[in-house]
Amino acid sequence: MSEALLFVHVFAATMFLGNIVVTAVWKCIADRSDDLNLLRYSIKIVFVTDFIFTFGGAILLAITGSVMIVNYGFTAENSPWLYCGVGGFALSGLSWVVGLVPNQFRQRRLLNEASDFAAIAKPFRALARRWYVWGTMANVFAIAALFFMVTR
């Protein structure tokens, strides 16, 4: 049971971290375009992959992590690294919920209402810069969580 649980936990971490890193890279590339159709498709795929991989991975991480905390008897006294890892994970999720997702909704609305990219270029680029800031925070916190969980 514990090996299967650990496998699912590592798989969930791969889904979660892999998606936030890869999405950041290809969204940065897509955001360089002035092509409304490409940008609309890009933001649509961000939502789809976020739901499946980021949110799905986060849910699996939370469930499997909680079960392992109970099963292995981790406490604050014997596992301070755990709280650093969980804190990084929580801050990554908070960055995603508070900054990234609302910003993505604004970007999607702006793109869907536009008939010409030139008309929305300035506000879109401002939203994109904000997205990069929030995304960088989400990535740094997630990588910190991974560090604490692996190097314990």
AA identity, residue 13: A
Ranges of each domain in the chain = 2-151
**Tens of pLDDT along 112-144?**
999 999 999 999 999 999 999 999 999 999 999
Q: Which of 99, 120, 103 lies closest to 111 in space, CA to CA?
A: 120
Cα 21 from Cα 148, distance rounded (Å): 18
Cα 77 from Cα 43, distance rounded (Å): 44
User: How many other C-beta atoms can be found within 10 angstroms of the C-beta atom of residue 50?
Assistant: 19
> How are the residues of the chain apportioned to helix, strand and coil, as percentages rounded to the nearest 5?
90, 0, 10
Model pTM above 0.85:
yes
C-alpha to C-alpha distances, 49 to 46, 60, 70, 88, nearest whole angstrom: 5, 15, 30, 21
Q: pLDDT band at 106, cuts 50/70/90?
A: very high
Q: Which residue has the tokens 């869907």?
A: 112
Q: pLDDT band at 31, cuts 50/70/90?
A: very high
Instruction: Report phi then psi at 115, rounded to 5.
Output: -110, -15
- Alpha helices by DSSP H, 96-116: 101-113
**Tens of pLDDT along 61-95?**
999 999 999 998 888 788 889 989 999 999 999 99
